[in-house]
A and B are shown apart, each in its own frame.
Chain A
Amino acid sequence: MNPPDPAALRRRKANFAERHFDRLLVAPAITVLLLIGVFPLVYLLMVSFQQITMSEENRAFAGLLNYSRLFTDTRFWESVLHTLFIGAIALPLELLLGLAMAQLLLDKLPGRQVFVALLVLPTVISPIVSGATWALLFDNRFGPINQMIGWVVGHPVTILWTVKPDLVYPAILLCEVWQWTPFMFLLLLAALSNVDKSQLEAAAIDGAGFWRTFFRIVLPAIRPVLAIAILIRALDLFRVFDIIWALTKGGPGTMTETVSVFNYTQGFQQFETSYTAAASLVIVIILSVVIMVALRRMRIDR
């Protein structure tokens, strides 16, 4: 055999890279994901069939013990309900508000850069910090919110945002929407700005009004990004934790306990390792089903 010709070697390497281009692109990311993603799931699966608690690490196969306990655990299913409730209200609010804000700041405006930079700020703050800040804002005595309400009403008020059942959800939702609307805003701003200008101009020349243009041209154009943004945000809402923990710790009672809070107290504080593993897997399965359905619908529409 002749010794390999360096130029031919290079060409072969380049061809390899070209032919397996797509797989080479995907490989590094997959490697990292596998490293971190596989073991935890396998662990959770294994452990959910065992009986590991705070006092003992009983690794004997216990069958569906944890799962059957889960299905009759009203506290768990209530936490799922609470989580869905928060998501169902917060997501549309964030979406509409974010879209409106993006539309508002889309075209030229003096100082627009400053506005955009400032409006992104709430999302940039750590949820722990924002939870603590809102706790301070909502403080009955030392917080400005009750003070401002007092100005409007004309006398000092006593409003216990984090204690009274009627007020806890508004407080949580306010904090949540405040923090994450800018996220939607920025994403949608980027998407709206990529809408084909020539199409918009053509529509304007044809005399189409704002809403017509919006629904016929803009919405379809931003659909991919919009769909992903909604999906990502919905998943994140499902995991909401810090804000609730800072404001109410899931209280009063278990009224604002979400899935993450449930997982935290049972898994983290009380070391019900096996039980919470089962709970987490059930959650993942539910979410997967929902996402699959949503993705399928998105693909069909596209």
Chain B
Amino acid sequence: MIPRRRLGVLVARYVAAVALVLAFLFPVYWLFMTSLKTADEIFSFPPTWWPASLQFGNFMVLFKDGDAGAVWNSFVLATSSTVLAMILGTMCAYALARFRTGGEHLSNWILSQRMIPPIAVVFPIFLLYAWLGLVDTFTGLILLYTAFNLPYVIWMMNGYVRDIPLELEESALVDGCTRWQVLWKVVFPMARSGLVATAIFTFVFAWNDFIFALVLSRTEVTTYTVQVTHYFGGQSNFWTKIAAMSVLGTLPVFVAVTFMQRWLVRGISMGAVKG
């Protein structure tokens, strides 16, 4: 028999959670609905909350015209650069956390990379890439996103690694593991929730980038963010396409995040398994 106070708190929490979800998701709902409306419904007064009929054709058009390929480009770029950044970054973060490699100077320099506004450096990078022949290539953008996400990964994982009690690693070493094995068998699993949380946002930052994708692409590597801006014209405004493309571009990330956060939750409930 659950004590009544406990039940009351639970219900209150539940209500609050539902209210939060409604508030935060309302704009998403509106975007989603916009992608299923006709143009007249988008510009209707009073605003249409639920379209007369669901215009799935708005999505079909994107696939037929090949615009949806932009979502695939974004997917390739974001996934590759996230994997790269997570691996390189976590390794580096571990070294910084446990060995203070390079001391303050290195870690400060790394963080300072994130201080540079992308707008300021996008043109010099364009010049560099033009010289290297990396404009409008997958390699170029993957490299770039990795570089821009590394400071974030390094700093976040630094924090999460510090949370792992040193004794666990030391006992593993005593048991005869090499340092690499310690990394693989102890650190990565223990930092799992931190890894997931960091990976999620690393992925999202790369996925949602606009300014680099705009300047460093011409026709081959059009990402979904750039594709969406194609629909804003001086004498046109493809709101249905904007909304549909936005939904197409958001769904994969949403699915990925939902998928990944299962680990997050499991990490949470596992907590710190201590002796």
A-to-B contact residues, CB < 8 Å: 14, 17-18, 21-23, 25-26, 28-30, 32-33, 35-37, 39-41, 43-44, 101, 104-106, 109-110, 112-113, 115-130, 132-134, 136-137, 141-144, 147, 178, 181-183, 186-187, 189-191, 193-194, 196-198, 221, 224-225, 227-228, 231-232, 235, 238-239, 241-242, 259-260, 263-264, 267-268, 273, 276-277, 280, 283-284, 287-288, 291-292, 295
Known: A128-B210, A235-B115, A292-B108. A119 touches B20 (CB 8 A): yes
What are 21 A-to-B residue pairs whose CB atoms are below 8 Å?
Answer: A29-B92, A29-B154, A33-B110, A113-B261, A119-B20, A121-B250, A123-B204, A124-B257, A126-B208, A126-B250, A136-B30, A142-B47, A190-B264, A198-B274, A225-B163, A225-B194, A228-B155, A228-B156, A239-B118, A267-B120, A284-B112
Question: When the two chains form their complex, are residues A224 and B162 in contact, meaning their CB atoms are under 8 A apart?
Answer: yes
A98 CB, min distance to chain B CBs, angstroms: 11
Most interface-central of B25, B114, B152, B267 (chain A CB within 10 A): B114
- Complex Cα distance, B41 from A156, in Å, reads 19
Q: Given the interface contacts A32-B147, A37-B113, does A121 sit within 8 Å of B208 by beta carbon?
A: no
Contact status B207-A126, CB under 8 Å: yes
| B219-275, CB < 8 A from A | 224-225, 228-229, 232, 239, 242, 246, 249-250, 253-254, 257-258, 261-262, 264-265, 267-269, 271-272, 274
CA distance A115 to B25 in the complex (A): 11
CB distance from A142 to the nearest CB of B (A): 5
When distances are taken between beta carbons in the complex, the residues of chain B under 8 Å from A260 are 117, 119
On whether the beta carbons of B194 and A190 are closer than 8 Å, the reply is yes
Complex Cα distance, B271 from A233, in Å, reads 26
CA distance A193 to B200 in the complex (A): 17
Chain A neighbourhood of B46, CB < 8 A? 147
Q: Which residues of A contact B124 (CB under 8 A)?
A: 39-40, 43-44
* Contact of B210 with A124 in the complex, beta carbons under 8 Å: no
Closest Cβ of chain A to B225, distance in Å, is 5
Given contact pairs A29-B150, A123-B204, a sample of 18 additional A-B residue pairs in the complex whose CB atoms are under 8 Å apart: A25-B95, A26-B101, A26-B106, A30-B106, A104-B20, A115-B20, A121-B28, A129-B228, A129-B242, A129-B246, A136-B42, A178-B27, A194-B268, A197-B272, A225-B159, A242-B210, A263-B117, A288-B112
Bound-state Cα–Cα, A273 to B120, Å: 9
Query: Taking A224-B159, A263-B119 as contacts, is the C-beta distance between A126 and B150 under 8 angstroms?
Result: no
Residues of B within 8 A of A137 (CB): 27, 30
- Cα A105 to Cα B14 in complex, Å, equals 9
Q: Which residues of B contact A37 (CB under 8 A)?
A: 113, 116, 147
Quick check: B120 and A280 within 8 Å, CB to CB?
Answer: yes
Is the CB–CB distance between A291 and B143 below 8 Å?
Answer: no
Contact call A128/B229, Cβ cutoff below 8 A: yes
Query: Is residue B8 within 8 Å, beta carbon to beta carbon, of the partner chain?
Result: no
By beta carbon, the residue of chain A nearest B270 is A193
Most B C-beta atoms less than 10 A away, residue of A17, A36, A141, A189: A36
- Which residues of B117-162 are within 8 A (CB) of A? 117-121, 123-125, 127-128, 143-144, 146-148, 150-152, 154-156, 158-160, 162
Distance in Å from the Cβ of B111 to the closest Cβ of chain A?
6
From residue A252, how far is it (CB to closest CB) to chain B in Å? Answer: 21
- The residues of A that contact B123 with a CB separation of less than 8 Å are 267, 273
Residues of A within 8 A of B152 (CB): 232
Q: A35 contacts B147, CB within 8 Å?
A: yes
Given contacts A109-B10, A144-B49, A273-B123, contact A291 B112 (CB under 8 A): yes
Give residues of chain B (50-100) contacting chain A, Cβ–Cβ below 8 Å.
88-89, 91-92, 94-96, 98-99
For B158, the chain A residues whose CB sits under 8 A away are 224, 228
Q: How many residues of B contact A (CB 8 A)?
A: 106
Q: B residues near A, CB below 8 A?
A: 10, 13-14, 16-17, 20-21, 24-25, 27-28, 30-31, 34, 42-47, 49, 88-89, 91-92, 94-96, 98-99, 101-102, 104, 106, 108, 110-121, 123-125, 127-128, 143-144, 146-148, 150-152, 154-156, 158-160, 162-163, 178-180, 193-194, 196-197, 200-201, 204, 207-208, 210-211, 224-225, 228-229, 232, 239, 242, 246, 249-250, 253-254, 257-258, 261-262, 264-265, 267-269, 271-272, 274
Residue pair A283, B45 in contact (C-beta under 8 Å) = no
Contact present for B21 and A284 (CB under 8 Å): no
**Across the interface, which residues of B come within 8 angstroms of A43, CB to CB?**
124, 127
9 A-B pairs with the lowest CB-CB distances in the bound complex, closest first: A193-B268, A280-B120, A36-B147, A40-B121, A126-B208, A43-B124, A22-B99, A29-B92, A25-B95
With A14-B178, A30-B92, A129-B249 known as contacts, the answer to whether A25 contacts B101 (CB < 8 A) is: yes
Q: Is the CB of A133 within 8 A of B117?
A: no
Chain B neighbourhood of A134, CB < 8 A: 27
**How far, in whole Å, are A102 and B265 apart by their CA atoms in the complex?**
12
| Cβ–Cβ < 8 Å partners of A109 in chain B | 10, 13-14, 17
Q: A18-B179, A119-B24 are in contact. Are A128 and B228 (CB under 8 A)?
A: yes
In the bound complex, what is the Cα–Cα distance between A110 and B27 (angstroms)? 25
Min Cβ gap B70→A in Å is 12
Q: Given the complex, which residues of B lie within 8 Å of A14, measured CB to CB?
A: 178
